[in-house]
Every structure is written in C-alpha cells, then in structure tokens.
C-alpha cells in the first residue's frame, strides 16, 4: 500500500526537518506501508523550498512544489492531492501542531471501508478567547445553517481521503471554495477520530483574520443560497414597514392629527432603505464576482518550481 502525506507550507523552514524526522519514525514503523511526502510551498519568503530540496536529495520520498505566488492553504492542499500517487492521502499541516502518530489511526479506520476519515480536534492547546470562539462559530454555521452536517463539529485540520475521493476532488476547478466544506459536500462514507491539537513549535501562523473572513464568505456562498433568500425576506420586511408608515401618514392627514416632522422622518426612511439596498448589492456582488471569476477559467494555482525536476 502506498500512502501520500500532503502538507501545505508557508515559512516553515525550521519546522520541516523536525516534521520529516517524526514522519519517518511514525510511518517506517507501520508494516506493509510505503509512503511519500508531498509538500506544497505556498510561496514562502524564507528558505522553505531550499530546505525541501535538501530533504529530497536526502530522501526521494520527499517531493515538493513551489507556487509562483501565495494562493492559500486550500489551493496548496488541492495541488498536493493532484500530485499524490498513493492509494490514499493524509493531509497534515507543516507547523508541528498535529502529531504524525495520528496517521496509523486514520489508516486503521480507512481499512474498514471508510472513504474519508477526519481527525477531529477534541481540544486545542493554547487556543482561547476570540480565535476559539470564531472557530466554533464557523463550524456551527457550516453544520446548522449551510447544512453540511458531515463536517466535524469541532473542526479538523488532519484528514485521510481514499483514492476514489482524491480522483473526485481533482475534477473540481472552483476558484473560491473551502476544501473541508467540499469534502463534506461530496459525501462518501465518512468517520471521525479525535485528538488534542498541540501548540506551534516555531514561527507564526499566517492564517490571519482577513483569510478567516474570506473562508467564511467562500464557504457560505459556495454551498448555500441562504444569503440571497435572506435578501428577499429583508426586502419584504422593509416593504411592509414602508406600507405601514404610509398608512400612518394617510391616517394622520384624514383625521387631522399632527403629521410627523418631514425632515427627520424622511431622512430616517432614506437611510434605512438605502442601507438595506447597499447590503443587498454587496451580497449579490459576492455571488456575481465568484461567477465572473469562475467563468475566466484561470488555473487554481501556478507552480514555479519542483524539487524533483532534475529527476525527470
């Protein structure tokens, strides 16, 4: 059996040699297992790709590609799956927060006939406050509002996918999509194991708040029409309020009551209706932009270099 370990990497030059040693210790101990490690350098600004090139020269099981610019971790994972040769693939980050010893557990569950095995985070060392609340809110939103009930409730950064799932994922060419959400959407037989995610050993996470917000927008617009349906509800509610206000004005005029001050009431109405219209246009714009971007048929990523180019 051949296993492919896929790791996205961005500025991980100090972590990669340690992760390599841990992979060798964990995977060489598994009987009847051959493995390869595909690392996608998401256009790091440090010596990440040079480190991977040295590891490839030392061990041909290590293969690396480098993006021509920063395309994001989800595109890096998709690229790694495209490069995978294994009967199954495990996605494992390069930041040392996820132990490679998980892989044997994922394989054991996969051998029972499961196509997707999630390693669900039972706890996160060092995670607290607003980052943890954001994570919990995101997965609740995706499960309960968007309707992707297969998604692990606490989230998953490590998962195993069968070759049938890999071949299915590589058929997609969506520009703005959450890979975890897409895996939940495609179905197949899925299962979970749990583990405690460790703290980062070296470096800082490049997973910024802006990227998190972009992921939420991509996930919701990619798998749900709920925002557009909400626009209809808000529009209907605003129209009803407008009609009620018109009835109040007419009643005041008929029965001789003092009408409300014209300037204040007019400005409130304009600001409320105008604000609703701008929000509506923004939501529609998110869908329209994604449709336009998809119609261009640009590649999801561009590869600048390969560690094994000289071997070909």
Asked if 195 and 245 sit in the same domain, the reply is no
Same domain membership, residue 148 and residue 280: no
Domain co-membership, 64 together with 146: yes
Domain assignment of residue 220, yes or no: no
**Span 86-115, mean pLDDT?**
86
Segment 259-287 shows an average pLDDT of 68
Q: How many domains does the chain have?
A: 2
**131 vs 77: which has the higher pLDDT:** 77
Lowest mean pLDDT of 77-86, 207-216, 225-234, 272-281, name the range.
Answer: 207-216
* Domain match, 127 and 193 both: yes
Rounded mean pLDDT of 200-224? 61
* Domain ranges, residue 135: 2-206+300-311
pLDDT: which is higher, 261 or 239: 239
Report pLDDT for 121: 73
Q: What is the pLDDT of residues 113-132, one digit of tens each?
A: 888 888 877 655 555 555 56
With pLDDT > 70 as the criterion, what percentage of the chain qualifies?
62
Quick check: is 284 in a domain? Answer: yes
Q: Let me know if residue 216 belongs to a domain.
A: no
* pLDDT given at position 312: 47
Question: pLDDT category, 310, cuts 50, 70, 90?
Answer: very low
pLDDT over 70 at 257, yes or no: no
For the purposes of burial, counting CB atoms within 10 Å of the CB of 114, is it exposed (0-12), middle (13-18) or buried (19 or more)? middle
One domain, residues 30 and 57 = yes
pLDDT band per the 50, 70, 90 thresholds, residue 264: low
pLDDT, one tens digit per residue, over 134-170 is: 666 666 666 666 666 667 766 677 889 888 888 888 7
In a domain, 213, yes or no: no
In a domain, 81, yes or no: yes
Q: Are residues 53 and 103 in the same domain?
A: yes
Domain match, 123 and 164 both: yes
What pLDDT is attached to residue 110? 86
Q: Is residue 211 in a domain? A: no
Does 112 share its domain with 162? yes
306 and 171, same domain (yes or no): yes
| Whether 240 contacts 206, CB under 8 Å | no
- Is residue 214 in some structural domain? no
- Verify that 51 and 190 share a domain, yes or no: yes
**pTM of the entire predicted model:** 0.65
Give the Cα separation of 169 and 179 in Å (integer): 9
**Confidence at residue 69, expressed as pLDDT on a 0 to 100 scale:** 84
Whether residues 136 and 191 share a domain: the answer is yes
- Does the pLDDT value for residue 205 go beyond 60? no
Assess whether 289 and 307 both reside in one domain.
no
């Amino acid at each position: 059996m051949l296993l492919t370990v896929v790791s996205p990497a961005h500025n991980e030059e100090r972590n990669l040699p340690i992760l390599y040693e841990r992979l060798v210790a964990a995977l060489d101990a598994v009987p009847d297992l051959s493995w390869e490690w595909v690392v996608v350098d998401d256009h790091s600004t440090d010596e990440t790709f040079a480190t991977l090139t040295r590891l490839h020269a030392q061990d041909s099981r290590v293969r690396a590609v480098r993006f021509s610019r920063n395309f994001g971790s989800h595109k890096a994972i998709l690229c790694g799956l495209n490069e995978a040769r294994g009967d199954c693939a495990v996605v494992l980050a390069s930041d040392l927060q996820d132990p490679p010893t998980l892989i044997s557990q994922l394989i054991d569950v996969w051998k029972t006939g499961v196509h997707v095995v999630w390693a669900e985070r039972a706890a996160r060392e060092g995670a607290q406050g607003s980052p943890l609340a954001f994570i919990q809110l995101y997965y609740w939103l995706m499960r309960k509002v968007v309707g992707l009930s297969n998604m692990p409730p606490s989230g998953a950064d490590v998962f195993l996918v069968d070759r049938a799932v890999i071949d299915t994922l590589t058929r997609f060419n969506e520009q703005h999509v959450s890979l975890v959400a897409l895996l939940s959407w495609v179905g197949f037989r899925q299962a979970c194991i749990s583990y405690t995610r460790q703290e980062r050993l070296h470096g800082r996470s490049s997973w910024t708040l802006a990227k998190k917000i972009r992921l939420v927008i991509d996930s919701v617009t990619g798998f749900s029409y709920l925002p557009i349906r909400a626009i209809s509800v808000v529009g209907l509610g605003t129209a009803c309020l407008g009609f009620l206000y018109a009835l109040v004005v007419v009643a005041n005029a008929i029965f001789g009551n003092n009408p409300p001050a014209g300037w204040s009431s007019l400005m409130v109405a304009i600001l409320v209706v105008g604000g609703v219209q701008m929000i509506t246009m923004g939501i529609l714009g998110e869908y329209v932009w994604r449709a336009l971007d998809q119609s261009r048929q640009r590649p999801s990523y561009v590869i600048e270099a390969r560690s094994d180019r000289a071997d070909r």
